[in-house]
Structure 1
Amino acid sequence: MDTGDLAPVVALADRLFPDHPEDAVHFGERLARGTDLCLSLCDPETGIAGYAIAYPWPLGSIPALNRPLATLDKPNSVYLHDLGIAPAAAKNGHARTGAAMVGERARARGYARLALVAVNRSVRFWEALGFAVRAPEAAFAAKLADYGAEAHYMVKDL
């Protein structure tokens, strides 16, 4: 992914996750933080058909939605902030492939874990990819609630 992909990525994210809107400036900040961990799925006919936004982040913590990221000294994991596939491109294994690519790139950078927040009843999908639900620390339980009633913090060892 590069900065030229941000406008169509944000537009796709708005369609896929209307309950979790995020401004383009925050997507851009996340791309800058995780440049080689962020991916775009390009369709020659329709443009951006999917994306993954990931960046280094402390394990056991989640960033606030639609807010600037905190400055970190030494993040110890990679956070998969968002992964979305357009409905027309779904059911082709792109989400699995994208998640695997993010994991491989994180491991190549020396990270041992990949974390995310599963939303929209997606826990089973993520479990099939090797993620496990972890109970949230009290300090970020309120942030997790911002992700929705069905949100679960999940971690995968790489």
Structure 2
Amino acid sequence: MTSKGIHWRGMTTLDLPAVQAIAACVHPSFPEDLAVFAERRALYPDGAWLLDINGAPSGYFLTHPWTAGTMPKLNQLYGTLPSGPPTYYLHDLALLPQARGHGAAGVIVEQVLDHARRAGFATASLAAVNGSAPFWSRHGFVPVDVPELREALLSYEDAAQYMVRQLS
């Protein structure tokens, strides 16, 4: 996306302190260590994006392959990405307030879903938090009740929802 000085680009290791600062601002109830952001980017660089607005980091999106019907734990290192029935997991989309309302989130979501589809994933999944379920619904995600995930979702917040979108 390139519009009015707004564009998404691949995240680099130099961006990680800005990513952590954005996360602290946007998701203060869901803190993650710098090492977690660094590992997500290192394990799947094609799924790590940074939003620049006039040269200033203003948002990020971390995505990666994962096991269908499960969720990664918050603020935990993976070591490796899992094998097993795959899904493309949308781990964290965060935009600073000044980055909202420009359509940047919708653009990167569709770009990432296209990447997942081309990579052969049949589904994409996520945990919707902070009242984001309507946004994700507009992008084709539907809530899915997975009893084994109820406790994990509650560790985020009472209203957290596991959502899935078919890609094929």
Q: Same fold (TM over 0.5)?
A: yes
Tell me the residue number matched to 1:49. Answer: 58
Cα deviations across residues 77-118 of structure 1 (Å, max 9, x unaligned)?
A: 111010011111100111111111111111121112111100
Tell me the residue number matched to 2:70. Answer: 61
Match of 2:90 among 67, 80, 88: 80
Determine whether 1:111 maps to 2:113: no
Tell me the residue number matched to 1:93. Answer: 103
Tell me the amino acid that sits aligned with residue 14 of structure 1.
A
Quote how far apart the aligned CAs of 1:75 are. Answer: 5.3
Q: Retained in 2: the 8 A contact 1:37–1:106? A: no
Tell me the residue number matched to 2:5. Answer: none
Determine whether 1:24 maps to 2:59: no
Tell me the residue number matched to 2:3. Answer: none
Count residues with an aligned counterpart.
156
TM norm structure 1? 0.93
Q: CA RMSD in A?
A: 1.3
Tell me the residue number matched to 1:35. Answer: 45
Percent of aligned positions that are identical: 37
Match of 1:123 among 114, 122, 133: 133
Provide the rounded CA distance (Å) in 2 between the counterparts of 1:70 and 1:59: 18
Quote how far apart the aligned CAs of 1:137 are. Answer: 3.1
Match of 1:157 among 150, 153, 166: 166
Q: Retained in 2: the 8 A contact 1:6–1:24? A: yes
What residue ranges of structure 1 are gaps of 5+ in the alignment?
none
